[in-house]
Amino acid sequence: MSPDRLLPPPAGDLPSTVRTIAATALAPETPEDLTDLEELRTLVTLLRRHPRDIGQRQVFVRIDDGPRVALLFGQSLTVEVKPGTHRLRAHNTLMWKTVTFHVEAGEHLEFQLINRGGPLTYSVAALLGAAPLFLSIERRSLV
């Protein structure tokens, strides 16, 4: 007999408590079990909605070795990650930032990506038609 084929125990030889425990152990997952798993999801949200964001140029983001995503002003992206230490890399083609962070099971982190102007941004933009934008990243825990 192969080990993956189990025969049910004889009903008359076992006490009723043992039959109940065996039936419970072999029962499929219930929706309540799935709800518990939903609470343990680990999420990271990246967004560009900060009032100080100048609203120009995209910010390219990447978590670990995942896909590179371009975020425009007003957009957001939520990614499910495994608990542990991760690295967020972001750039606006001029300024590069790397943030190393640790996330626990069931935690939801949010990173605000801010493309902001410096003290001379508008003067240089008026003179040359383009100016450097500085990239800031602010982190907060939602759970």
pLDDT in tens, the chain (143 residues): 455 555 555 555 555 544 444 444 444 455 555 555 566 899 999 999 999 998 988 999 999 999 999 999 999 999 999 999 999 999 999 899 999 999 999 999 999 999 988 778 777 777 887 778 899 999 998 87
93: tokens are 């083609």
Can you give the pTM of this predicted structure? 0.69
Span 41-141 CATH architecture = Sandwich (2.60)
Long-range pairs for 116-120 at CB < 8 Å and ≥24 separation?
116/52, 116/53, 116/54, 117/54
